Structures are given as structure tokens and as C-alpha cells.
Amino acid sequence: MSFTLVLQWAPGVCSGNSGVACQINPVPTEFTIHGLWPEPNGAPSTDSFNGQKLATLATELSRYWPNLKSSQQQIAFNIDFWKGEWNKHGQYSGLGVREYFEKSLELYKDAGQGLRAKLAAEKIIPTIYTTYKLVDIQAAVNKINDGFSGTIKSVQRQGGGNKQQIQEIRFSYTNNFQKQNNLSPSSRVPEILFPAPGFG
């Protein structure tokens, strides 16, 4: 089994043809967690979801793993969202409920927290019109993470013709959460937008 940590760039998700009807307001201006996905799925966990197990993690989860499809961001609403993530992915991870969400936060803090500012330091800044060479964004992600190669996934921009924009960056881990560079290549378009928050 391996794991994929999927980070989402909400401005790209919400203004792209991703099929996600974003309701969150304001739209997050940092990369956030989309999910931690086991591949392939293991046997279902016997640890059943209970929101109380996340009580001390809920504030962090609300910040770093928000529900883009909901205008309600109170913890009580997010518990149902995280339950869905557990049922779809977490229960097949070989981890317990709390352990799964703790591990997701741990991996996020290593690979994703502050990623927007780190990309800006490499001159990759969210903009309204400027596109970036995909190889330059990929090189910046690799440099930021000391050679840990994230895979950039793009989505077609709504009303933007054939323009592609960043939707996600994915990172791969072994079954014991060691970093590995084995994901499929990044999107195959030569240039993509890194859309600024509010650009939509």
C-alpha cells in the first residue's frame, strides 16, 4: 500500500471546470488538504467514525482541511464532511480514525503548510493573467521540498478557452509514510495559470 497526499489550490478548484460547486466564503488563500488516499485500499477499519475522536484536532482540521462545497464552516458542519472523507478513504488506510487525521495534518505541515509563500520565494506567485511554465513550477516544488517531487494537476479554466490552471499538487508516500517520487508526470500542458484568490 502507498498513500497520496492531495493538496488543493482552492482558487484553481473553484474557478476551474472541476465539477466542484464551491460555496466556501472566503475562498482559502493557502493550499489546503483535499485528502490522504491509500492505494490500493486496504481492508476496512473496525474503528467507526465518531466526531469526539477529533475534538482536539477540529480547529486545525477546519483551517487546513475545509469543505469547499459548504458555506457553513463551523466545526459541527465540518464533522460530517470529515466523516465522508473517513468513509471514502480513511477507513481503508490501516489507521484508526484519529490516527488518520493526525497523519494527514502531519504530512500537510511538512509538504504543504506555507507552500504559497515558499512558491512566491521562487517567483511563482498567484496572478490574474500571467501563465508559468509547468517545468518552472515543478522545479520550484522540488526545490522547496528538498527533491520531494509533487505532481501538479491542472484543470481547465471556466470561460478561459483552453487555459489550464493549478488545481492540485499531489505527494506520494510509502506504506510507512516515507516520501517517494513515483507518481505519474505532472499535467502535460506546457504553461498553466496559478490563479490569484478572487480571480474568477
Task: Please list the active-site residues.
Answer: 34, 85, 89
Measuring CA to CA, how many Å separate 147 from each of 22, 122, 179?
33, 15, 10
Pairing of strands 2-8, 32-39: antiparallel
d(CA 117, CA 47): 37
Could you tell me if 198 and 11 are in contact, meaning their C-beta atoms sit under 8 angstroms apart?
yes
d(CA 99, CA 24): 27
Q: Which of 2, 1, 5 is nearest to 106 (CA)?
A: 5
